[in-house]
C-alpha cells in the first residue's frame, strides 16, 4: 500500500495510540524509518486480549497494517533494569484500564 493511502488513516491511528496510552496499555510505539511500518510493545493479560486490541487499530481495520504478535517474558530480577521495573511495577499497572 502506498504511503499516501496509509496517511489517510494516520490521524485516526494516532488517536487510537493515544487511547491505548491513556488506558495504560502502551509501553512503547514508534514508526520505522524509512516509514515501512512500526513497532509496538503493549501490555495485556493474554495474547488474545492483545490481538483484540490490535484489531481495533484504524490502520488494521483499513488494510494498512498487519501485526506479528509475540509474547515477551521478562528476565527475572535484578536483570530486567529500571525501565522494565517501571512497567511491571504497581505505578504502571494501576493505570491499566479496559478500552
Q: What is the CATH number of the domain that holds 68?
A: 3.30.70
pLDDT, average across residues 30-36? 88
Q: Do the domain assignments include residue 54?
A: yes
Residue 51 has pLDDT above 90, yes or no: yes
Residue 4 in this model has a pLDDT that exceeds 80: yes
pLDDT band at 86 (very low <50, low <70, confident <90, very high): low
Whole-number average pLDDT of the chain: 83
CA angle 55, 48, 76 (to 5 degrees): 120
Residue 78 belongs to a domain: yes
SS (H, E, C) 36-68: CCEEEEECCCCHHHHHHHHCCCHHHHCCCCCCC
What is the total count of domains within the chain? 1
Domain contains 98: no
| Residue 36 belongs to domain spanning | 3-93
Cβ contact 55:27 at 8 Å? no
CB 98, CB 25: distance < 8 Å: no
What pLDDT shows up at residue 27?
A: 85
pLDDT in tens, 62-77: 999 899 999 887 776 6
Give the whole-angstrom CA distance, residue 19 versus residue 73. 25
pLDDT tops 90 at residue 56: yes
Amino acid at each position: 500500500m502506498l504511503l499516501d493511502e496509509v496517511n489517510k488513516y494516520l490521524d485516526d491511528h494516532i488517536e487510537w495510540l493515544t487511547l491505548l496510552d491513556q488506558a495504560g496499555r502502551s509501553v512503547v510505539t514508534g514508526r520505522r524509518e524509512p516509514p515501512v511500518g512500526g513497532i509496538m510493545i503493549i501490555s495485556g493479560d493474554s495474547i488474545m486480549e492483545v490481538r483484540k486490541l490490535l484489531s481495533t487499530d484504524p490502520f488494521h481495520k483499513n488494510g494498512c497494517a498487519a501485526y506479528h504478535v509475540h509474547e515477551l517474558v521478562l528476565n527475572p530480577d535484578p536483570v530486567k533494569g529500571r525501565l522494565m521495573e517501571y512497567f511491571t511495577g504497581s505505578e504502571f499497572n494501576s493505570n491499566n484500564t479496559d478500552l
